[in-house]
Amino acid sequence: MSRDCTELEAWMEGKKLVSLAYILTTSFPKKELSGLANQVRRIATSVPLNIAEGYERRTSKDDALQFLHTAQESLCELETKFCIALDQKYVSKVNFEMISKKIHLSKKLTSGFINYYKKTENEKFRTII
């Protein structure tokens, strides 16, 4: 396992997702800057933050998994917010597809990290018994 959360692929992709979300929300109407755009930015930012916190809490399996699952939930919420943005024509179909691909990649990586963590923790538990 990496020694630092910044070495995790899930964290790195989460950070890229934040950058893309910030770029795409700059084209939202001014009336949405304190509404949907702000919500999208906060949700996107929570993904790598929760992955980092989960990684740092790896001494407690339940705490770590809670933060990693929160990152997964944020990804689902982010996807929904961008669906709304698409419906409102705040993002183009091309940009929506681009962010959707990033979201799905982040979901896959975070899910993989959760599964890896569960597996390694279960193996550690079996060796203790």
Query: Tell me: the pLDDT tens digits for 25-36?
Result: 999 999 988 899
Count CB-CB contacts under 10 A for residue 84: 13
What's the predicted TM-score (pTM) here?
0.88
The pLDDT of residue 127 is above 50? no
Rounded mean pLDDT, 5-14: 94
| Helix, coil or strand: residue 29 | coil
Half-sphere exposure of 96 (CA within 13 A, CB side): 16
pLDDT at position 57 is 79
46 with 74: CB under 8 angstroms? yes
Domains in the chain: ranges and CATH: 5-122 (1.20.1440.60)
Tokens, residue 124: 């550690």
What whole-number percentage of the chain has pLDDT above 90? 71
24 with 99: CB under 8 angstroms? yes
Q: What is the DSSP letter of 30?
A: G
For the chain, the average pLDDT equals 89
